[in-house]
Amino acid sequence: MPQPVDPRILGYVVIGGAFGVLARALLLLPVGDPAAVPWATLGVNAAGSFLLGILVRALDDRRPRVRAFLGTGVLGGFTTYSAFAVETALWLTSPWQAIGLAAASLAAGVAGAVAGLLAGRITGGTRRGAVDPEDAE
């Protein structure tokens, strides 16, 4: 049976998502060349994947509210699969460019996540056994 969604956690995700979407919009706003937007989105998604990797490794299973706000919310809103999908589909008139964009986006996202997980480990992420007061609730 699926677990019920805690309304407080959902609130953290919604508020964080608003911040993430705003951050992405502010980064992409100065991009004046429409042909550059897909590549800028690729960069945003790679950076977001890297930051999410750090966050996941650093917090592990601790601090669920922080993970919901920053991970699912802020970074989920900051990165965008839908923009990647639409931008790739718009390039289907040039199939090799569309394939290149899709492959580069996937590779950059995975590479960013792996690098973030490694960086999170280096910065002291995998602290097991410690009890966080937020987890005790």
User: Is 116 annotated in some ligand binding site?
Assistant: no
Q: Encoding tokens for residue 130?
A: 């410690």
Lowest-confidence region among 14-28, 55-69, 105-119 = 55-69
Distance between CA atoms of residues 41 and 58, nearest Å: 25
User: Is 124 annotated in some ligand binding site?
Assistant: no
Helix (H, G, I), strand (E, B) or coil at 66: helix
Q: Encoding tokens for residue 109?
A: 């996202």
Distance between CA atoms of residues 114 and 17, nearest Å: 23
CB-based contact 2:58 (threshold 8 Å): no
CB-based contact 121:57 (threshold 8 Å): yes
> What is the pLDDT confidence band of residue 124, given thresholds at 50, 70 and 90?
low
> What is the pLDDT confidence band of residue 11, given thresholds at 50, 70 and 90?
very high
H/E segment holding residue 22: helix 7-28
Does this model's pTM top 0.85?
A: no
